[in-house]
Structure 1
Amino acid sequence: MALDVYTLFICELYVLGFLSIIMIFAWSGAQYDRVLGFTTMAIIAMMVSVWLGSLRNHGLLFLPVAIGNTLVMLAYGMWLNAFRVFAGFRPGISWLFGALLWALLCCFPSFYCSIPKRIMVSCLLCISYTVALIIMLVRSRACLQITFWPAQLLLCFHLVFHLSRMCFDSGSSAHNAMGHSPFSSYVILESTLFVIGLTFTILAMVNERTQIRYKQASLRDPLTSVWNRRALFAQAGLAEKKSMQKQLPLVAMVFDLDHFKSINDRYGHNQGDRVLLDFCRVVEKVLPAECTFSRLGGEEFAALFVGDVEKVRSLCEEIRLLAMVSRPDNIEYTVSIGIAAGNTHSFSSLMMMADKALYEAKAGGRNRIEIKTTAPQSATLVNLNL
């Protein structure tokens, strides 16, 4: 079935206009998110470029060939900016390269009057921008769990299309006509589908990033930014499986800052918060990355670890000593620590045991570590007086 290029052209113009309206509202609704802002400008640039393309049939070549294609390259540059911002980078100036190169080449008649050369350069620039978009997408992989592969598939298809066009489009259309090349209808159709797909993919990417941020925020303590109780117990299930698979003990640690209420009463709550932040800094400096550390509430913290109990005891001792000498704003504080470890217990039961060990550390004079370890058939209490 033959595709009517003029019908496709009108449809593309209509689609781009409609997408522009959608993106303007989406941009403002997202509190002027820069990713959506760059995407909106890209679609508007593409829409103006398509409109300028209609002037070919009126004998005007400069506007569609020079200005229109320059706007296409600016649109690719805007999409590159959108992906760069999404990946956490600054826009930079690389997005201008394609537009400046096209404008410069149009100053030479040998290029301006040669359709095959224009097609070749256009394809090379589109391929370059698409590769850059793929690279930026890969760098954003950490915050894309669902939309990563659809976005990759879309960009790879676009890349393959322009590689094919570069090989098979001879550009044999009449110099002043629009769409007489056998490849023209496919170019318009693919570009329309690509813009639609990329626009909604970017919307989905921004939405997924927002959801991940909200989820991360719900798992973080607002004051200290460490994990909260919900995050700790969410990780506990994975830790229990890891403990069973590797036949290593699961270790629960509970930390409680000694006489914290007196610190608040004496120095004020702002300074009390300062002590909490300092303690979190000390702990995160000592505990390994695979250890989940969280704030349970108030001055009480907890952590889980899968591994050697003696290693955990050594780490907790280092934390206890560093807390003693830290003295944020010349405020002295100490910490009592309860540790429980076992191969057959759930994390919830280990937390209860660690709480008991913490209570005994408090009762024994504070600024101490108490350890409870359990064997498969029995439980043993180890007191560490410090």
Structure 2
Amino acid sequence: MVFRIVVLSIILLAIELYAFQALKTLVKSRGVLVFYQILSLLLFVVIIYSFTQFDRSVGQTRQTMFAMALVLVVYVPKLVLALVLLGEDIFRMGAGSVNYLIDRKDEVGFLASRRKFVSQIGLGLAAVPFLSLIYGITVGRYNYKVIKQRIFFPDLPDAFDGFRITQISDVHSGSFDNPEKINYAIDLINEQDSDMILFTGDIVNTDAKEMHPWIDVFKGIKGHQYGKFAVLGNHDYGEYVTWPTEKAKEENFQAIKDLYGQIDFKLMLNEHAYIYKGEDKIALIGVENWGHNFKKAGDINKASQEVDQKDFKILMSHDPSHWDYEIKNHEKNFHLTFSGHTHGMQFGIEIPGYFKWSLAQYVYAQWAGLYENLGRYVYVNRGFGYHAYPGRVGIMPEITVVELKKGTNVS
């Protein structure tokens, strides 16, 4: 822990040094520069102190989320500024070396002075992440979007043509602080008037108690004609904190599983159920968490062992890496998988229908939206809540509505 704090301190101080160089190029008032240094020092002390207070037996708290927000809001813009000035320094070093080789160092000096316009460009670029991160905290984290997706399947049972499914995922109730916004989101869910609702895991950050203030709110999700189903996410196992005893950990895990029932969702633990409509049916399969880099409790073979190869199958699996590594080529032919987990890193750029980017794409092959492989699909929900960074930039909290259609085209 001490080593990490020292390394973090060195990195932040190096960024501060470059950021101050840019300010000094543009501002000549000594008072302003002194005020900037004092403010920067205070923020640095608050951030380092907050990280030293992290208690692994407690896990994420409002203090740690505040510290993460400070780090991002203060130092991401300064990092952008530092990179611009570093680029200028590389150029100055190169020019100085040329001058030295042609013996002009006495005329212009080895290093040319910093150029004001470069610092101005750096500050302009730094303003973009600064304003974006502030927006993400003040507005973005509760800026719920209903995303509708129609998916065609040639072998969809006739009675399910037009069947509508609402999906939510990654609630992370321990992060919430605004009941009015959460109630608004529940109203949005109910307005979709779908046939069935699926919740693909992470009801809390760590502790079952995080959900207690929100149980009545989530019980407000109306009953759906064909049911309300859920699976566990990686955070639901309480494995990101240190528990006093193994018994305490198991009791918390049981309490978290009970939460799903308390908000009227049927929790599926490596099992399946048939959904009947008229004389037709589809198989709904729910597995525990299976992640390539996370807990592998999901057992797709156990969950589907009594499901026929010819049945139309919908799978709930929290982590989309499960689809990528095990599901998309599975012999049982799982038609549609619902996942979440990635949050789209809560930071990215999306222009619907044209462009989509996030750091999440360098970790997960499927990280937000719909993906297809040989007629098999996975839909990755961007998440209902937020975790670590208390905000969302570009990748907004999502309520998904998928309509199943019989046919061969995707729209």
Both structures adopt the same fold (TM-score exceeding 0.5): no
TM-score, normalised via structure 2 length: 0.26
Higher helix proportion (structure 1 or 2): 1
Higher RCO (C-alpha under 8 Å, 6+ residues apart)? 2
